[in-house]
A = this chain, B = another copy of it.
Amino acid sequence: MKKELILEKQQQAAQILNELDIDMWMTFVRETGNIKDPMLDMIAGTGATWHSAFIITRDGDTTAIIGSLEEPNMKMVGTFKNIISYLKSVKDDLIKTLDKYNPNKIAINFSRDSSLADGLTHGVYLELIELLKDTPYAERFVSSENIVAALRGRKSAAELSIMKEAIKETLIIFDEVTKYLQPGITEKEVAVFVHNIAEEKGFGLAWDKEYCPSVFTGPDTAGAHAGPTDRKIQKGHVINMDFGIKLNGYCSDLQRTWYVLKDGEDTPPDEVMRGFNVIKDSIQIAAKTIKPGAVAWTVDDAARSYIVENGYEEYPHGLGHQVGRAAHDGGALLGPKWERYGNLPYLTLEESQVFTIEPRLTIKDYGIATIEEEVVITKDGCEFLSPNQKEIYLIK
């Protein structure tokens, strides 16, 4: 399965190279055990110790130039048609291979905007320039960011099917959490509960264990991207959790919101219902603006404006990001036009991309309401991959 997925993505890459009129894409790495180009898993399925080039050409030819000790491994992995191994320096074989194809442009993995297209470290970049200084090739380098964005964005049927499975399994864990939540339990205990289930089932986590899941209970919570604390769940708290698993190399990323009923309450107070419903509705409003060709920031703007119009503070982050092998995947980002997001909010959406939609708002005196769903872009709109949270979950 793993090898077939990689060969499928290599073929997709060749097609994208044709669309972009780029003859060659080269992922150039070393010591990937220490720092790993984020594209390697998708296009090679193995790492490398010495300077190594993983080359895909527009006609679909694939060549790996690697250290000799890694040749048997590369053959076993079986993802590259041509395997060239060297003992002392990559230089001669690299130049020979470039001479063979004489590419018009050579895309390499650097990008100011996309971390996933920026796996080439600055030192290795300098080394590459030095290796090729007596050739015309260093002059032909271009950023691979458009290739990477397209390749990671366009999910194949096989990829989508794994991602749906990951979402399904994640929501089963959310259901377990609903049964577990009780006043007196701490955020950290919820996280341990979730880690135990994930481990038992053999799932990886979609991001760093220290904040996967993030759990926030009550009005005085730490904010997103913080790990769970010793804060205890109390009656009258709004609780939310952000969690995803990694299944067969692909991530899920979902959020759900709970309310802990006070003594005598059968339903949450009006202000809690209102906050929850504004979040829920903002997701539908945003989803309606998602279609191929839409500019990413306009989707963020639709949800953000709706929330502000309803009298809440705007959320201090983007509305959503792509998901795939990485929890934060792909190029285009459903974010506002803030400098920290670079050009990503200005990109247009494409069919088969998978996005999260994850607005949030603060319900004063109760906590934070968030829902995060996942959608896939279709020919003329989008479809939810996750069955939506329609009602706030109640803890008695």
Q: Which of A335-361 contact B (CB under 8 A)?
A: 338-340
CA distance A90 to B338 in the complex (A): 11
A37: which B residues are within 8 A, CB to CB?
35
Are A34 and B116 interface neighbours, CB within 8 A? yes
Beta-carbon contact of B116 and A73 below 8 Å: no
Name 29 interchain pairs, CB-CB below 8 A, sorted by A.
Answer: A30-B115, A31-B115, A31-B116, A31-B328, A33-B326, A33-B327, A34-B38, A35-B36, A35-B115, A35-B118, A67-B340, A69-B226, A72-B223, A72-B226, A73-B225, A73-B226, A76-B222, A76-B227, A76-B229, A86-B340, A88-B338, A110-B121, A112-B124, A112-B127, A118-B121, A118-B124, A119-B121, A120-B122, A120-B123
Whether a CB of chain B sits under 8 angstroms from the CB of A210 is yes
The distance from the CB of A36 to the nearest CB of chain B, in whole angstroms, is 7
C-beta contact mask, A216-232 vs B, less than 8 Å → 1, else 0? Answer: 00000011111101000
For A88, what are the chain B residues with a Cβ–Cβ distance below 8 Å? Answer: 338-340
In the complex, A227 Cα to B78 Cα: how many Å? 13
B38–A38 CB distance below 8 A = no
| Interface size, A (range) | 35 or more
A112 to chain B: which residues have CB within 8 Å? 123-124, 126-127, 130
A203 at interface, CB cutoff 8 A: no
The distance in angstroms between the C-alpha atoms of A90 and B341, with both chains bound, is 11
Binary contact readout A60-88 vs B (1 if CB under 8 angstroms, 0 otherwise):
00000001111111001000000000111
Q: How far is the CB of A339 from chain B (nearest CB, A)?
A: 4
- Which of A42-50, A98-106, A165-173, A274-282 binds B? A42-50
B222 and A73 contact, CB distance less than 8 A: yes
| Cα(A227)–Cα(B340), bound, Å | 41
Instruction: Assess the A46–B328 pair: CB atoms within 8 A.
Output: no
Does A13 count as interface, using CB distance less than 8 angstroms? no
A384 contacts the other chain (Cβ, under 8 Å)? no
Q: Could you say which of B35, B117, B125, B225 contacts A119, with CB atoms under 8 Å apart?
A: B35
Closest chain B residue, CB of each to CB of A325: B34
The residue of chain B having its C-beta at the shortest distance from the C-beta of A125 within the complex is B122
